[in-house]
Amino acid sequence: MNYKTNWQETKQHFDAWWKGENADGPLMRINVRRDKPLHELVNISDVSDASECYLNVERKANQTKNYYAAFEPIADSYPNFDLNIGAGSLALYLGCEPKFTPETVWYLPCIEEYGDIVLDKQNKWYKKHIEMLKQQVKLIEGTDIMGAVPDIIENIDILSAMRDPQETCFDLYDQPDAVKKAIRQINDAYIPCYDDMYNILKGDDGYVAWNCFSVMGKGKTAKVQCDMCAMLSKEHFDEFVLDGLRQQTAQLDNAIYHLDGEECFQHLPSLLSIEGIKAIQWTPGDGSEQGGSEHWFPLYDKIREAGKSLWIEIPQRELIEPQIDNIIKRYGSKGIYFVLPELDRELLSIC
């Protein structure tokens, strides 16, 4: 099933964006509603067990095929199939158990007292996820859908899931050495897991999609984050988190940082100092101006001045044209990636 044309051009555009060199126009993700479905849609039954929303690979594959039968990925959008067991499944591989709901997966804390955190590849959830990814590859064989590396997450965010966020905050003061050791061991487990998944999902040319934020790249490509940094002082972030991010991104070919909420602004200078972070994805908090607004230009200025590329979501259709124009006038197209909402074909003229 062919859902996407100009694959080579799309890959070249991403290569240029990661380097901040896309001078011939910004990277753009646009999914357009087709006049009629590309093929007959598959009936997807309701589930009585919420775990089926995450663990039934065939069901997830049919959802993906139905979506791209109804929506055409154009410009730099590409068809991809994500297969998460929640966001942060590294916590499962290291000892947590999941609580499934239709909306999300929660990880039940599993650290009561600190000890060694060691990845066991015989862990039932790790084995399950690897088996799912292998099944995923078989189900999309013969299509141009890309399998996307799951959002397994890393660093202190995984520790807070395993330990509990409040307890982790107390531990920064009460048991700082134990926290640092735990974070090192969590990060030591990340790359072996990532490598296994990358090797299953990468194309013959080495390109792979990442689950979040519609990014792809040649070589090891991932989103990195620290949502817990919203609760950390700059001193604690630099002491406990920064080195781990440096080491992690040094082992990746393309890394985009997920900056979530204004409480995290104080950490931007530290993040911009990390050579391995090539792009910043900014998520405004609830009630804030949305991405693309001139309100965020001071933030965008700092990111571009540091030589990092920008990922900018413009969620409101009526603002697409004026906000794109304003951003291009200010920054040009180099290092700019616009992520747009789903559009009807007659609205394409605003892009």
CATH code: domain of residue 50: 3.20.20.210
Query: What is the rounded average pLDDT for all residues in the chain?
Result: 94
Structural domain of 120:
7-350
Q: Are 237 and 226 in contact (CB under 8 A)?
A: yes
* Residue the block writes with tokens 């985009």: 256
Place of tokens 């775990």: 51
Q: What is the pLDDT of residue 1?
A: 65
pLDDT level of residue 350 (50, 70, 90 thresholds): low
Listed in sequence order, the residues at least 6 apart from 122 whose beta carbon sits closer than 8 Å to its beta carbon are none
Q: What's the pLDDT at 351?
A: 67
pTM exceeds cut of 0.85 = yes
H or E element in which residue 343 lies = none
Segment 122-142 shows an average pLDDT of 96
pLDDT given for residue 261 in this prediction = 87
Task: Give the pLDDT score at 174.
Answer: 98
pLDDT 10s digits, 172-182: 999 999 999 99
* pLDDT for 259 beyond 80: yes
In the predicted structure, residue 245 carries a pLDDT above the cut 70: yes
Q: What is the pLDDT of residues 40-76, one digit of tens each?
A: 999 998 889 999 999 999 999 999 999 999 999 999 9
**Which band of pLDDT confidence, cut at 50, 70 and 90, is reported for residue 135?**
very high
Distance separating alpha carbons of residues 256 and 337, to the nearest angstrom = 12
3-state secondary structure (DSSP) of residue 2: coil
Is pLDDT of 161 > 80?
A: yes
Average pLDDT over residues 19-31: 94
Sign of the torsion formed by the C-alpha atoms of 138, 139, 140 and 142: positive
> Is 2 a member of any domain?
no
Query: From residue 259, how far is each of 172, 247, 319 by CA, in Å?
Result: 22, 18, 22
- Specify the pLDDT at position 80: 93
324 class by beta-carbon count within 10 Å (0-12 exposed, 13-18 middle, 19+ buried): buried
Q: Do the domain assignments include residue 226?
A: yes
Number of domains in the chain: 1
Please report whether residue 130 resides in a domain: yes
pLDDT exceeds 90 at position 32: yes
**pLDDT at 313 (0 to 100):** 96
- Please report whether residue 176 resides in a domain: yes
**Does some domain include residue 1?**
no
